[in-house]
Amino acid sequence: MTASNCLRSWVESANGHPDFPLENLPLGVFSRDDQAPQGGVAVGDFVLSLRSAACAGLFQGEAALAAQAASGASLNDFFALGAGPRRALRQALQVLLGEHSQQREAMQALGETLLVPISACRLHLPARVGDYTDFYVGIHHANNVGKLFRPDNPLLPNYKHVPIGYHGRASTICVSGTPVRRPCGQTLAPGSDMPQFGPSKRLDYELELGIWIGQGNEMGEPIAIERAAQHVAGFCLLNDWSARDVQAWEYQPLGPFLSKNFASSVSPWVVSAEALQPFAMAQPPRPAGDPQPLPYLFDARDQAGGAFDIELEVLLLTAAMREQGLPAQRIALSNTRHMYWTVAQMVAHHSVGGCKLQPGDLFGSGTLSGPQPDQFGSLLESTFGGKQPIELHSGEQRTFLEDGDEVIMRARCRKEGQPSIGFGECRGVLLPAKY
Ligand code: CA
């Protein structure tokens, strides 16, 4: 693309930045040294302190309201304000940080009080997560996993009618960079009829889109699909770590429990719907013969532009690779276009029975695999249930994760004529079990 299509910033590193140009401006929570966590905005190689900017009187009206709400140690209050103030803050920041900003000198005079190098920041969970729900809208994942259990009938009859999900655990959602300990649990060895207890031997990741809920609803008052997108504050990456052997033994009849509740990692930046707008797309048409969604799940505008074209990548960095100075190896490159249900359909379905959603609730999309093996978003799929190890450029093999392995997820949007934007990373290293 040509540079003339981009917004130019006086923060030089923002210009052409692969993740955080002026078109992105994701919010997060950061701290420096021993200071308290506070809200900030990623721009190039810096984090802009919203508190410092607000104190300097840089914002007016709704933008000032939003900056104030996003100044503290979590973004819940900012999420609760909804789309109007969020857009106002974004527009104000694009002007303030733009190359023709009239505030440029005043802002530069604030130095690192205003713009902190990202490399000097610790990034935190962006919000207090009240409730976490994990969906299952990646149809290729559902097919692939279903095939392992039911080769002739991989998708259960409800899949194309209901956005399948379950209520997960909020307390162990952690920010990228947090080490994750291999869980212990009950497993049933093949051919055995008595379970054993010990460290999971089939530890896996799941490549998912995370969805931060903004304005909520009252109990008993469903969110109509036409308004559902307005209730989304933004998006992140989510690694839904999964202990497959624990899951296989425990999941019937109520679904996953300890196999999923020990950790879910999220990327620290909240990418807004406004930043993603150039990469919005029509929901891919359903194959011939598939049912139409029920009316409460169908909105023509959502079908026309409620899906996203976001590249999702998962990489593996083993302890041996780190020791040999080898780079992380890409295991899969997928895309959010493989979602059978849109985000608005998830929100509408979640609330249609009267469930109350609150600012800072988090949804996972479910594993987003593509149709090809190099697009599979979990090792369960990439190794065909652990039967075909993947070869690594270190000479190692993997069926499932080993202690010391680091899982790295990235997301990026690219389109002809548009500057690319990225989500930043969601990474976590696996620690040995305590046993
Ligand atoms: Ca999942």
By CB atoms closer than 10 A (0-12, 13-18, 19+), residue 435 is exposed
Q: How far is the CA of 364 from the centre of ligand 1 (A)?
A: 7
Report the distance separating Cα 28 and Cα 266, nearest Å. 12
Question: Three-state DSSP class for 244?
Answer: helix
Arithmetic mean of pLDDT over the chain: 97
Rounded to the nearest 10 degrees, how much is the dihedral formed by the CA atoms of 44, 46, 49, 107? -80
Q: How far is the CA of 219 from the centre of ligand 1 (A)?
A: 26
Residues 52, 53, 59, 61, CA torsion sign: negative
pLDDT at 418 over 60: yes
- pTM tops 0.95: yes
Strand order in the sheet with 132-135: 165-167, 132-135, 362-364, 207-213, 232-239, 264-266, 173-175
Q: How far is the CA of 262 from the centre of ligand 1 (A)?
A: 13
pLDDT at 1 over 50: no
What is the length of the chain? 435
Render pLDDT for 126-141 as a digit per residue (tens, 0 to 9).
Answer: 999 999 999 999 999 9
Q: How far is the CA of 320 from the centre of ligand 1 (A)?
A: 28
Report the distance separating Cα 125 and Cα 217, nearest Å. 23
Domains of the chain: 3-124 (2.30.30.230), 132-431 (3.90.850.10)
Render pLDDT for 355-380 as a digit per residue (tens, 0 to 9).
Answer: 999 999 999 999 999 999 999 999 99
Render pLDDT for 258-288 as a digit per residue (tens, 0 to 9).
Answer: 999 999 999 999 999 999 999 999 999 999 9
Percent of the chain surpassing pLDDT 70: 99
Residue 48 confidence (pLDDT):
98
Q: How far is CA 178 from the centre of its chain?
A: 15
Q: How far is the CA of 97 from the centre of ligand 1 (A)?
A: 38
Name residue 116's beta-bridge partners.
47
Peptide bond preceding 253: is omega within 30 degrees of 0, i.e. cis?
A: yes
Render pLDDT for 139-184 as a digit per residue (tens, 0 to 9).
Answer: 999 999 999 888 888 999 999 999 999 999 999 999 999 999 999 9
Residue 202 confidence (pLDDT):
98
Q: How far is the CA of 207 from the centre of ligand 1 (A)?
A: 8
Confidence of residue 4 (pLDDT cuts 50, 70, 90): low
Q: How far is CA 125 from the centre of its chain?
A: 12
Confidence of residue 2 (pLDDT cuts 50, 70, 90): very low
Closest CA to 240 of 269, 207, 213: 207
Report the distance separating Cα 31 and Cα 36, nearest Å. 6
Residue 301 confidence (pLDDT):
98
Between 4-8, 94-98, 292-296, the lowest mean confidence (pLDDT) is in: 4-8
Mean pLDDT over 64-69 rounds to 98
Residue 150 confidence (pLDDT):
84
Q: How far is CA 208 from CA 238, 300, 341, 411, in A?
A: 5, 25, 14, 10
Q: How far is the CA of 280 from the centre of ligand 1 (A)?
A: 23
Higher-pLDDT residue of 399, 3: 399
Q: How far is the CA of 143 from the centre of ligand 1 (A)?
A: 14
Higher-pLDDT residue of 149, 254: 254
Evaluate whether 74 touches 29 at the Cβ level (below 8 Å).
yes
Render pLDDT for 196-238 as a digit per residue (tens, 0 to 9).
Answer: 999 999 999 999 999 999 999 999 999 999 999 999 999 999 9
Mean pLDDT over 293-304 rounds to 98
Catalytic residues: 141
